[in-house]
Amino acid sequence: MSNSNNKCNSSQQIEFLKSLPTTRLRAICSLIAKHEIIADIGADHGKVSEFIYKNSLAKKLIVNDISSPSLAKAKSLLALNSVNDRENAQNATGIVFQAICGSRLHELEPQINCAVIAGMGGDEIVKIVSNLQCETLVLSPQTKAEIVRNKLNQMSYNIFVDAVIKEKNKFYDVILAKKNDGKNKAASKSLSKEEEFSGKFYRFKNPNLLEKLRKEEQKILKYKDLKKDYKNKLSVIEKAMQWQL
C-alpha cells in the first residue's frame, strides 16, 4: 500500500476505526479525509456514512443505496428516519444530509468532492465513476478491479493507494484515487497489464496479494485447454508473482 496523507490520524477516528466490524470497512474508512461534500454510494447499512458523520469529515453527506431497506437502515443508524428521499436535513453539528434511493446518480450535484463506492462489482463502479466529476475516489470493487483501474487511468486519476484486503477467505481491492491536476505528468502514464490486474503497487510485497495471485493461477491451470485470453492472464499473474516471492 502506498503512503498517503489522507489516512486518518486523530485518536477519535482511530478508536472508531477499531470499532468497525470488518477489515474491509476499516481499510475503506481509513482513506476518507475531510471534504466539503462526500457521497457514500452503495451505502448499504450506513457504516461508512456513520464514520464520516461521527468524525465530522464532511459539511454535507449524501447517502445513496439502490435498496430501500438498506437505505432505511442507514438512515436509522444516522438518526435520519424522518428524512425523505432527496430531502436535505441538518443535524446539530451542522452536517447536511441527503438520502437518495435508487440509481438516479445523474441527479447528484456536480460539486461532490469525494465519492466512496464499495460493495458492488467493477462494471457497476465504472458506470458510476464515468458519470461523476469529483476530485477524490475511495473504491472497493468486489469483482473486476482491473477494469476500474483502467477507467481511472483513462479519466486521468492518479492512484495513491491500491491494496488487497483479505476477509473471511475473500479478497477485496481497496483503492484511493485523485484527479490529476496536470502537474504530475508521470502519473498519467498508461498502466501496465500487471498494474491493472494486480494493483498499481504490485511490486511491493503483500501476502494477501500473493495468496490471491496463487489462487487465480491455480484456477486457470485447472482448465485443460487454455484459450488465448487465459494464457495472457496467466502470463500477467506470473509476472506479478515474481515480485511477491
pLDDT value, residue 54: 86
pLDDT value, residue 97: 73
Shared domain check, 117 and 215: no
Assigned domain for 56 exists: yes
Pairing type for strands 96-101 and 170-179 reads unpaired
Distance CA 173, CA 24 (A): 9
Residue 176's pLDDT band (cuts 50, 70, 90): very high
Residue 87: strand, helix, or coil:
coil
Shared domain check, 211 and 129: no
Residue 1's pLDDT band (cuts 50, 70, 90): very low
Shared domain check, 46 and 145: yes
Shared domain check, 215 and 113: no
Shared domain check, 215 and 97: no
Shared domain check, 180 and 216: no
Cβ-proximal residues to 78 (8 Å cutoff; 6+ apart), any chain: 46, 49, 50, 53, 63, 97
CB atoms within 10 A of CB 55: 17
Instruction: Pick the range with the lowest mean pLDDT from 28-32, 159-163, 219-223.
Output: 219-223
Shared domain check, 76 and 117: yes
CATH code assigned at 177? 3.40.50.150
pLDDT value, residue 170: 94
Q: How many independent structural domains does the chain possess?
A: 2
Contact 103/80 with Cβ under 8 angstroms? no
CB atoms within 10 A of CB 79: 12
Assigned domain for 1 exists: no
For residue 194, pLDDT over 60 is answered with: yes
Shared domain check, 185 and 109: yes
Pairing type for strands 88-90 and 96-101 reads antiparallel
Considering 191, 217, 236, which residue would you say is the last residue of a domain?
A: 191
Shared domain check, 142 and 39: yes
Shared domain check, 88 and 184: yes
The parent domain of residue 126 ranges over 11-191
Q: For 3-12, write each residue's pLDDT tens digit.
A: 444 444 577 7
Shared domain check, 165 and 136: yes
Residue 184's pLDDT band (cuts 50, 70, 90): low
Residue 181's pLDDT band (cuts 50, 70, 90): confident
Q: For 60-88, write each residue's pLDDT tens digit.
A: 888 888 888 877 888 787 775 444 444 45
User: Model pTM?
Assistant: 0.86
Shared domain check, 219 and 120: no
Highest mean pLDDT among 51-55, 163-167, 182-186: 163-167
